[in-house]
Structure 1
Amino acid sequence: MKLLLSNDDGVRAEGLRVLAERLKTEAEKVTVVAPDRDRSGASNSLTLSRPLCPETMENGFHSIDGTPTDCVYMGLSQLFQSEADLVIAGINHGANMGDDVLYSGTVAAATEGRFLGVPSIAVSLAGKKHFDTAAEFVARLLDGYHSLDLPEGSILNINVPDRPYSEIRGIRLTRLGKRHPAGEPEPVLDPRGKQRYWIPAAGGTRDAGPETDFHAVAEGYISITPLHVDLTQEKARDNLANWLVSVSSATELVAD
């Protein structure tokens, strides 16, 4: 397989390095295109207000002064001639579970790969120690990935417990859990006395039931959650259609 790797922790992140080193023994070609610095929380943002500046590092990784989405978009262009069979985003420093996926640059990088027609997975470690465990799991996953048939627009979101591979209890197919809202922005003064605000950490778990990603990882299992990028809320369509009929007279427009 030919692989394109990216992340949101930056091109020098340990998780990315460990993943690339492990997969070079499994793949025909591994191309790494990642942000020049930590872009956690960048979600699916694209840089449209200025041109991007790719640079090649001594280890062969490509650094871009942009977002994870920028990196995958550029990485799948003719610029790097990657011809990827699979996009892998990660290994993220910390889990991406539940509502985290809405903000995650790691998940966004995988989403961009899928949007551009390449199968994609996002991989996160629920900690910052055993990156080799997550890398080993991904390497073994590649053997059977060609036989996986996902609906169009789908990606896999994988979260790995931060423990040795020998202590992983298994794999669980999961759904996204839910978090409580984060707290209020925290005010701080900068050295010049100007008021600034820190965005607080993510809220605690609100839904961590047995089928969720939160529960699986807490129990020592690797969580695999299928995600898709179609945001249409199908369950709301019937009720919304009826409501539109009721308000059509007020708007003087026909609900079709």
Structure 2
Amino acid sequence: MRILITNDDGIHAEGLEVLERVARQLSDDVWIVAPETDQSGVAHSLSLNDPLRLRRVSEKRYALRGTPTDCVIMGIKSILDMPPDLVLSGINRGCNIADDITYSGTVAGAMEGTLLGVRSIALSQHYRWSDMAGPDYNTAEVHAAEVLRQLLKVDLPKDTLLNVNFPAVPAKDVRGTKVVAQGKRSTDAMYVDPRRDGRGNPYYWLAFNNQKTTSPAGTDLTALEEGYISVTPLHLNLTAFELFGNLEAVLS
């Protein structure tokens, strides 16, 4: 099995190294094409007005000055002589759940793999940034290979991908794995943090608070809070079929 790995945290990210070790438990044919710099939050974007600068880091390991989407395209259409059997994107620094999915470059890497006809899975490690120095990737590293082995047994329909998140608990405290729906964050989760530079000029940070969000059972938000690994199947088709009737009624 040939595996192509990408991420959005960049070629030097700890999570990428962890995912490589996980992938090597599944295959000895592992390729990496990851962004040269941090591309968090770029979503499913393409570099159309800038050239893609590719740097060979070592055997089967490349850094690309571009987005995760660019990386997957370059990997499949230019670097590899044959398409991979699996695209893995991550392991992201922080969870990608609820509305985060729409911003995530990690999920977008898996989306692009899916668009190109390759089974694709995004993986992320949750952490509580208010009281943790950073993600404990050991949780993902201990559990990811077995989770992936089980997920590879499932035939995915066309244009679907899987989004996997590991909870912010020690590996031994993971309670299991749940298949859950995408949750919904509060509209207060993001805010604008106004500041001033040394000359008094204003600048702004987009920021997220760390408040817990009440979410219905059966969602990724709830699963992670309860200490479960969350697995959410995602579909690329965004059509809201339930609105067909109402729209046809007003347009006919």
Q: Choose from 118, 139, 143 the match for 2:145.
A: 139
* Greater displacement, 57-66 / 210-219: 57-66
TM-score, length-normalised on structure 2? 0.90
Structure 2: tracts of 5 or more residues without a match: 128-133
Deviations 1:77-130 (A, max 9, x none): 132336310101110010111000010000000000000000101101112333
Name the CA shift for 1:184/1:144 in 2 (closer, same or farther; >3 Å).
Answer: closer
* Greater displacement, 21-30 / 224-233: 21-30
Measured in 1, the distance between the counterparts of 2:209 and 2:240 equals: 25
Deviation at 1:198, TM superposition (A): 1.2
Residue 200 of structure 1: aligned partner:
207
Residue 42 of structure 2: aligned partner:
42
**Kept after mapping to 2: 8 A contact 1:180/1:204:** no
Measured in 1, the distance between the counterparts of 2:241 and 2:110 equals: 24
TM-score, length-normalised on structure 1? 0.89
Residue 249 of structure 1: aligned partner:
none
Name the CA shift for 1:77/1:191 in 2 (closer, same or farther; >3 Å).
Answer: farther
* Greater displacement, 39-48 / 193-202: 193-202
Residue 250 of structure 1: aligned partner:
none
- Aligned residue pair count: 245
Residue 51 of structure 2: aligned partner:
51
**Kept after mapping to 2: 8 A contact 1:180/1:203:** no
**Kept after mapping to 2: 8 A contact 1:4/1:82:** no
Larger radius of gyration: 1
Superposition CA RMSD, Å = 1.9
Q: What pairs up with 1:68-217 in 2 under 5 angstroms?
A: 68-81=68-81, 83-127=83-127, 128-181=134-187, 182-201=189-208, 204=211, 208-217=215-224
**Kept after mapping to 1: 8 A contact 2:191/2:208:** no
Deviation at 1:76, TM superposition (A): 1.0
Deviation at 1:38, TM superposition (A): 1.1
Structure 1: tracts of 5 or more residues without a match: 246-256
Secondary structure of the corresponding residue to residue 78 of structure 2? coil
